[in-house]
Amino acid sequence: MNAFRVGALGLLGLLVVAAPATSQDELATGDPVPPPALTPVEEGLLFPIEVIFTNLPGDPSSEVPGLPGVHFGPGTGSTHFDRPFGSPNGNWILSADTDLPTTEDEVILVNGALAAREGTAAPWAVGENVGLIDTKLGINDSGNWVFATNTDGPTTADEYMVSVVGGVFAAAAQEGQAGPLGGSTWGSTIDSGVVASDNTIGLSSDALLGVPTTEDDVLVLGATLLAQEGMTIPQGQLGTEFWENFDVDDFWISADGSTWLAQGDLTGDTLTDGIVAVDSGLAEGGGGVVVQEGVVLAGSGFAEPVDTSGIVGVSMDPAGGWFVRGNNDVSEQDWIYRNGAVLATLGDPILHGSAESWTDAEFSDCFFLHVGSSSGNYVLGGVSDGPTPTNGVLVLNQSIAFVRESDPVDLDGNGLFDDDVFFNTFGNDDGVLTDDGLFYFTATLKNGAGTVIGQGYFVADLSSIGTPIFEDGFETGDTSAWSSQTGG
């Protein structure tokens, strides 16, 4: 098994999946009885899953590293551990809540070690303390990372995008300081931090000062202005409208910074203003629109356009491959769209050749996760037409269902499923896939009686699946082109 990047973590539980799982953050807990194992043909290889952290009171996995006597905040919600982010070589970062007072309870964890905490001295700002921490974090292969926070400093200068390079904290952007446009200063909203392999920092910012309010949203990467509200017209759209805003936490870049993705709105009709744009040239042209509300997905074969507010989630893998998920008007057909092709939609088999299909009968969006690695692998999460207790499922390359709701968890790591702990629901978008086949994810947990008892953060070793190779570089659904090599 590969060595997992969990820092000084003391207790890791081992789970070998041999059984299925209900879904997703909105769904009920489902049947408390663990399901029977699927056949080897359906479930494929066995994949070890390790417990990294939980918030289960009294369990060693609930201890916050670097803070003796402090535990992750108890509760049954899905946000005690936030969305993880990672780099191609396996570095990971996420924020989490602890049982400390609310003014100091948020922490940032990097590869399992405590890296920053709310309410403590801000290393980059003398006399100020770290404030609330944005969910969107970034990390690169060198282990350098970025986060957004507002300190307890002066209200006109307390918003920061912070870079941490070689352990040194610095303000990459600060409210009130010189902005990306001549005569401008950063405003009160600085978010969506990303970091490229060369440590170039990117971000989205609203309320830029020194420019008209109709032009004060910007998207930047280093010294490059990628797009600006009221000034940049993204190509390939239905009309010729300007960018109007950029959605918080929906700015992504490839590992080398050569490609970016952003979700946001245009200045036009609200029935068609929502877009996703991708730019592979870093030109100041606002990117090319790949999905737009009110427009049929290109190459999809769908008869209906994307619904208003029908763009549900976006992501980009380290190689620049992009994902968008959403639904269509009228029929509410749900889909995952990858690099210009529909990867999965309602009625499709969850695995190539499977009789089990995707459905939105129990979860209106059907899909809740899509992430990829630069080696070509990808993980999809959704709800199937299988039995309710087990139909929330994570699949790799549409070939293996490697974990389902109601699968048992070996909490204490003794090799036995004797802890009365089971997966309940998987977090929406809460996953990251590394090039060597490690998949980090969050999930809520339940006991055998079906009662939700907490949340955890886990890692699955998927390296034995083999790497898909596609003639055009993208997934086509034809598994005959897959290689037999392992890992990634």
Question: How confident is residue 282, by pLDDT bands cut at 50, 70 and 90?
Answer: low
Between CA 457 and CA 65 the distance in angstroms is 14
- For the cut 90, the answer to whether the pLDDT of residue 465 exceeds it is no
- For the cut 50, the answer to whether the pLDDT of residue 164 exceeds it is yes
pLDDT of residue 466: 61
Say which range, 27-36, 221-230, 319-328, has the weakest mean pLDDT: 27-36
Between CA 54 and CA 73 the distance in angstroms is 9
pLDDT one-digit tens code per residue, 50-92: 999 999 999 999 999 999 999 999 999 999 999 999 999 999 9
**96 to each of 93, 304, 488, how far by Cα in Å?**
10, 40, 29
Between CA 116 and CA 94 the distance in angstroms is 11
Between CA 104 and CA 97 the distance in angstroms is 9
The DSSP element (H or E) to which 246 belongs, if any, is strand 243-253
Say which range, 312-316, 346-350, 370-374, 466-470, has the weakest mean pLDDT: 466-470
Collapsed DSSP state (helix, strand, coil) of residue 215: helix
pLDDT one-digit tens code per residue, 229-248: 999 999 999 999 999 999 99
Between CA 51 and CA 47 the distance in angstroms is 13
Collapsed DSSP state (helix, strand, coil) of residue 479: helix
- For the cut 80, the answer to whether the pLDDT of residue 33 exceeds it is no
- Residue 157 near residue 194 (C-beta atoms within 8 A): no
Estimate to the nearest angstrom the gap between the alpha carbon of 82 and the chain centroid: 9
Structure tokens at 485: 């090599």
pLDDT one-digit tens code per residue, 176-219: 999 999 999 999 999 999 999 999 999 999 999 999 999 999 99
**151 to each of 104, 157, 168, 178, 421, how far by Cα in Å?**
12, 9, 18, 18, 38
Q: Of the candidates 477, 430, 380, 481, which has an alpha carbon nearest to the alpha carbon of residue 78?
A: 430
Q: Of the candidates 446, 439, 452, which has an alpha carbon nearest to the alpha carbon of residue 422?
A: 446
Structure tokens at 278: 């991708």
Is 66 or 10 the better-scoring residue by pLDDT? Answer: 66
Q: Of the candidates 54, 49, 46, 47, which has an alpha carbon nearest to the alpha carbon of residue 14?
A: 49
CB atoms near residue 479 (< 10 Å): 14
Say which range, 258-262, 291-295, 473-477, has the weakest mean pLDDT: 473-477
- For the cut 80, the answer to whether the pLDDT of residue 371 exceeds it is yes
pLDDT of residue 379: 98
- For the cut 80, the answer to whether the pLDDT of residue 471 exceeds it is no
Report angle CA 102, 248, 382 to the nearest 5 degrees: 90
Between CA 187 and CA 209 the distance in angstroms is 6
b/e per residue 215-246 (b: at least 16 CB within 10 A): bbbbbbbbeeebbbbbbbbbeebbeebbbbeb
Collapsed DSSP state (helix, strand, coil) of residue 41: helix
pLDDT of residue 284: 53
pLDDT one-digit tens code per residue, 415-456: 889 999 999 999 999 999 999 999 999 999 999 999 999 999
Across 22-39, average pLDDT: 37
Between CA 327 and CA 308 the distance in angstroms is 9
Report angle CA 202, 207, 209 to the nearest 5 degrees: 100
Q: Average pLDDT of the chain? A: 87
Q: Of the candidates 413, 461, 414, which has an alpha carbon nearest to the alpha carbon of residue 436?
A: 461
Structure tokens at 242: 């300007």
- For the cut 90, the answer to whether the pLDDT of residue 293 exceeds it is yes
Between CA 427 and CA 425 the distance in angstroms is 7
pLDDT of residue 285: 64
Structure tokens at 85: 């982010």
Question: How confident is residue 464, by pLDDT bands cut at 50, 70 and 90?
Answer: confident
Amino acid present at 363: F
- For the cut 80, the answer to whether the pLDDT of residue 99 exceeds it is yes
pLDDT of residue 5: 38
Say which range, 101-105, 177-181, 465-469, has the weakest mean pLDDT: 465-469
Put residue 332 in one of left, alpha, beta given phi > 0 → left and psi -120 to 50 → alpha.
left
pLDDT of residue 415: 87
Structure tokens at 184: 């401008």
Between CA 440 and CA 411 the distance in angstroms is 16
Collapsed DSSP state (helix, strand, coil) of residue 481: helix
- Residue 358 near residue 342 (C-beta atoms within 8 A): no
Across 143-153, average pLDDT: 98
**How many CA within 13 A on the CB side of residue 169?**
15
In sequence order, the 6+-apart residues with CB closer than 8 A to the CB of 183 are 210, 211
- For the cut 90, the answer to whether the pLDDT of residue 15 exceeds it is no
pLDDT of residue 286: 76
